[in-house]
């Protein structure tokens, strides 16, 4: 049972690879969180693994992933193997510690954890990778996934293969709270007159806060996944001036229809 969250497809590519290799079902966290009929109750088969696959946001799991775990009810849990994969542009700080603390509160424990460096999609600061770097990262990610798949299949515990970066404690415990406090604002999203009203932004929004009348309008509870900006086919959506003249990215191995959050 693999729970995943993805803004631009990298984490979904990783989740699909692990799901296929290990014959595990995939469950979209944002679909579950947005569904009206939500019990957040799941029943494990004997010896079934539990996985959490998501992008790292400011050196921690996305808020929606932690909120989902807080609500989770797992039936038939008997110290099942739990893994996590965080995809990132560079490094993940103490993301696995944050996730494990959240699981501990539910009486669960992370068995093994991994990070995979994949193309960067955080264009509010910085830019996307060059095509050459993007291709190299995607190729290397496939190699890393082969290794992760074997470790998960063999249920190997206490394997933490993570790129933490410099001063991971500070990144996660100081910068992440600042990000959560100040950077989640939706006021800076705007749309220019290239917008055709195609509604793709509405469909890929993980928080289901975009409503397109003629053009998109944003509500408040945004996760900053940036799917609206990256999937806009005419590059009509910007975040203040931060994203102007920056590239757009979507994982080439994932289709737009796989990214739509239909409830
Ligand atoms: C809001 C936000 C914050 C991010 N923070 C980090 C970070 O702290 N470290 C990092 O290496 N990459 C960071 N990234 C890049 C993503 O983690 C990376 O591109 C990821 O693979 C995207 O996965 P997805 O396509 O499944 O959304 C951030 C991206 C976003 C949108």
Each residue of 176-228: pLDDT tens digit? 999 999 888 899 999 999 999 999 999 999 999 999 999 999 999 999 999 99
Q: Ligand 1 pocket: which of 10, 15, 16, 89 to mutate (most atoms <8 Å of CB)?
A: 89
176 and 234 share a domain?
Answer: no
Predicted confidence (pLDDT) per residue in 26-62, tens digit: 999 999 999 987 899 999 998 899 999 999 999 999 9
- For residue 207, which of 13, 5, 30 has the smallest C-alpha distance? 30
CA-to-CA distance for 88 and 57, rounded, in angstroms? 8
**Secondary element (H or E) of residue 78:** none
Q: How many domains does the chain have?
A: 2
Cα 14 to ligand 1 centroid, rounded to whole Å: 14
Query: At 144, which CATH number?
Result: 3.40.50
Same domain? 202 vs 170: no
Q: Cα–chain-centroid distance for residue 49?
A: 19
For residue 92, report the distance from its CA to the centre of ligand 1, in Å: 9
In this structure, the answer to whether residues 128 and 195 fall within a common structural domain is no
- Location of structure tokens 């996307």: 128
Atom of ligand 1 minimally distant from the CA of 7: 27
Last residue of some domain: 132, 163, 180?
Answer: 180
Would you state the pLDDT for residue 227?
A: 98
Distance of CA 225 from the midpoint of ligand 1 (Å): 8
User: Domain limits at 31?
Assistant: 2-180
Q: Which residue minimizes the CA distance to atom 3 of ligand 1? A: 57
Same domain, 171 and 199: no
- Do 239 and 174 lie in one domain? The reply is no
Q: Is 65 in the same domain as 130? A: yes
Task: Say yes or no: 141 and 11 in one domain.
Answer: yes
- Alpha carbon of 144 to ligand 1 centroid (Å): 18
Domain boundary among 180, 210, 236: 180
Q: Are residues 165 and 199 in the same domain?
A: no
Angle between helix 63-71 and 95-104 (nearest 10): 20
Q: Kindly state whether residues 170 and 209 are assigned to the same domain.
A: no
Cβ neighbours of 243 (radius 10 Å): 21
The whole model's pTM is what?
0.98
Which residue do the tokens 């110290």 mark? 79
- In whole angstroms, give the CA distance from residue 151 to residue 17: 13
Domain end position, chosen among 155, 180, 205:
180
Which phi-psi region, left, alpha or beta, contains residue 58 (left: φ > 0; alpha: ψ -120 to 50)?
Answer: left
Q: How do residues 3-22 score in pLDDT, each as one tens digit?
A: 999 999 999 999 999 999 99
Nearest CA residue ID for atom 7, ligand 1: 58
Same domain, 204 and 104: no
H-helix or E-strand spanning residue 131 = helix 131-153
Assign residue 241 the CATH number of its domain.
Answer: 3.30.70.20
Helices (H), 35-120: 63-71, 95-104
Same domain, 176 and 204: no
One domain for residues 75 and 205: no
């Amino acid at each position: 049972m693999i729970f995943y969250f993805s803004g631009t497809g990298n984490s979904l590519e990783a989740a699909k690879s692990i799901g296929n290799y290990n014959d595990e079902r995939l469950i979209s966290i944002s679909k579950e969180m947005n569904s009206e009929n939500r019990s957040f109750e799941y029943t494990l088969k004997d010896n079934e693994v539990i996985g959490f696959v998501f992008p790292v946001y400011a050196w921690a799991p996305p808020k929606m992933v932690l909120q989902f775990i807080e609500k989770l009810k797992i039936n038939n849990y008997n110290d099942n193997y739990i893994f996590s994969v965080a995809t990132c542009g560079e490094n993940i700080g103490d993301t696995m510690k944050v996730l494990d603390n959240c699981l501990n509160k539910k009486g669960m424990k992370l068995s093994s954890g991994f990070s995979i460096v994949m193309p960067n999609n955080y264009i509010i600061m910085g830019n996307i990778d060059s095509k050459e770097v993007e291709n190299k990262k995607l190729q290397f990610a496939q190699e890393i996934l082969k290794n992760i798949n074997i470790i998960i299949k063999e249920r190997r515990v206490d394997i933490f293969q993570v790129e933490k970066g410099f001063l991971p404690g500070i990144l996660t415990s100081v910068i992440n709270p600042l990000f959560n406090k100040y950077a989640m604002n939706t006021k800076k999203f705007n749309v220019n007159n290239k917008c055709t009203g195609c509604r793709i932004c509405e469909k890929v929004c993980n928080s289901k806060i975009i409503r397109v009348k003629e053009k998109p309008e944003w509500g408040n509870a945004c996760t900053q996944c940036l799917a609206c900006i990256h999937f806009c086919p005419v590059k009509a959506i910007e975040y203040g001036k931060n994203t102007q003249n920056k590239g757009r990215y979507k994982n080439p191995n994932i289709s737009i229809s796989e990214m739509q959050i239909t409830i």
